Amino acid sequence: MPTLCRPAIAVPDHVITREQTLDLARERHAGHPQLGLVLRLIANTGVRTRHLVRPIEETLTHPGFETRNLRYEAEAKERVPDVVRRALAYAGTEPDEIDLIVYVSCTGFMMPSLTAWMINTMGFRPETRQLPISQLGCAAGGAAVNRAHDFCTAYPASNVLIVSCEFCSLLYQPTDLGVGSLLSNGLFGDALSAAVVRGSGGTGLRLERNGSHLVPDTEAWISYAVRETGFHFQLDKRVPGTMSMLAPALRELIGRHGWEVPSLDFLIVHAGGPRILDDLCHYLELDENLFRFSRATLTERGNIASSVVFDSLDRFFAAGGAPQDACGLLAGFGPGITAEMALGRWAGVPPSGVPHPAVGEAAVSEAAVSEAAAPG
């Protein structure tokens, strides 16, 4: 049965705090008629720090769509190899043992995909299949896991490498002054991640079932407007309430697998904002402690799009994982409104030569006011 192994995570060195974000909002939007609301929403995200691929002074300028996309490509090529090598090491695999590379990103565009560059420069076989996913936003992390699960189920001896590269700060648009846009400026951060799904063997989440659910008639709730200046993120005010519509889909998938929600031992879910986690606790009637790894990701790194589920899973590994055969759920939420969900059991015996992750203490964020959230 396919196993999702420990992810490798990387964040850029440039850090912006919540206090700095609030000061910038006050300085740059002093005359905004809804500034008070924007400041309150940003303060209530639960985000304390975010990492940026470029210094804040440079991030706040707009050099043009072409320059930004060239910067995305250069930064991706510089930073992706490290997370890939670490993910392969965690899984006990080599580049020539990978049969499919799934590359997910919604913050830049390349054709051919970065997968072609990786195959040409990092020792992957020319026969390696490529699957770039660029239009699922934050849900793409869960979708990547599910497509890897499908592939390894169809080809049981195969291994899949997942790579997520999200430079959300490169999408900053200084002319977008809507409340949703200004909130996003204080919510999203930059990160990269990689993980291997092994067709057999490995330590981590042994994948048993996956599913997808799209909430009808919500296409416009999270979207990009593509203009001369690039991608303009659009967020509907109804987005914070989406867990009331997605929680039943999670419950249904769990039930179809013969499990019950209270039997879950761990959850790794996309933390778009604090209300997402608060509402899942409420609608699924689960202890908020089960969401501590997702909340820690939100607190320390903000919403890092498709990398959230991998960062949260890495924190779970660092805390020692779970007992053998413990039941768990991994889920990503994003545009559509879409949920990508996976169920599995914990496989705690590491492959030969790969040490079991050390037990560590994962950070847990403060309780957050549920007014602000963005799942994608």
Instruction: Indicate if 178 and 296 belong to the same structural domain.
Output: no
373 within a domain of the structure (yes/no):
no
Give the per-residue pLDDT at 375. 40
Instruction: Indicate if 265 and 145 belong to the same structural domain.
Output: no
- Active-site residue list: 138
Q: Alpha-carbon distance 306 to 107, whole Å?
A: 10
Domain tally, the chain = 2
Beta-sheet pairing, 129-133 with 230-235: unpaired
Domain that holds residue 253: 204-347
Neighbour count for residue 225 (Cβ, 10 Å): 12
Instruction: Indicate if 217 and 258 belong to the same structural domain.
Output: yes
Q: Judge contact between 174 and 310, C-beta under 8 A.
A: no
Give the per-residue pLDDT at 180. 87
145 within a domain of the structure (yes/no):
yes
141 within a domain of the structure (yes/no):
yes
Strand partners of residue 266 = 328
Question: Alpha helix locations (H) across 95-242?
Answer: 114-121, 140-154, 179-185
Q: Alpha-carbon distance 29 to 60, whole Å?
A: 13
Side chain identity at residue 341, one-letter code: M
Instruction: Indicate if 21 and 104 belong to the same structural domain.
Output: yes
Give the per-residue pLDDT at 216. 94
364 within a domain of the structure (yes/no):
no
DSSP 188: B
Q: Which of 160, 175, 198 represents a domain boundary (last residue)? A: 198
Supply angle C-alpha 188, 189, 190, rounded to 5. 140
Instruction: Indicate if 75 and 90 belong to the same structural domain.
Output: yes
Work out the burial of residue 258: count CB atoms within 10 Å of its CB; fewer than 13 is exposed, 13-18 middle, 19 or more buried.
exposed
Instruction: Indicate if 54 and 180 belong to the same structural domain.
Output: yes
Mean pLDDT in runs of 10 for the chain (376 residues)? 97 96 94 94 94 95 94 98 98 98 96 97 98 95 98 96 97 91 92 97 97 95 91 87 93 97 95 89 94 96 97 97 96 95 88 37 32 41
* Farthest CA pair distance, the chain: 61
CA distances from 72 to 120, 138, 366 (A): 19, 18, 33
67 within a domain of the structure (yes/no):
yes
Could you tell me the two tokens for 44? Answer: 């209530």
Give the per-residue pLDDT at 285. 94
Considering only CA atoms, which of 140, 133, 163, 105 is closest in space to residue 332?
140
Neighbour count for residue 366 (Cβ, 10 Å): 9
166 within a domain of the structure (yes/no):
yes
Give the per-residue pLDDT at 349. 58
Instruction: Indicate if 193 and 65 belong to the same structural domain.
Output: yes
Q: Which of 175, 198, 221 represents a domain boundary (last residue)? A: 198
302 Rama class: left (phi>0) / alpha (psi -120 to 50) / beta: left
Instruction: Indicate if 190 and 209 belong to the same structural domain.
Output: no
- CATH number of the domain where residue 63 is located: 3.40.47.10
Instruction: Indicate if 174 and 100 belong to the same structural domain.
Output: yes
| 277-314 CB burial, b ≥16 within 10 A, e <16 | bbbbbebbebeeebbbbbbbbbbbbbbbbbbbbbbbbb
37 within a domain of the structure (yes/no):
yes
Instruction: Indicate if 167 and 245 belong to the same structural domain.
Output: no
Neighbour count for residue 52 (Cβ, 10 Å): 23
DSSP 264: -
Instruction: Indicate if 44 and 128 belong to the same structural domain.
Output: yes
CA distances from 288 to 203, 276, 304, 332, 365 (A): 26, 12, 21, 18, 11
357 within a domain of the structure (yes/no):
no
CA distances from 235 to 180, 305, 334 (A): 5, 14, 11
Instruction: Indicate if 216 and 251 belong to the same structural domain.
Output: yes
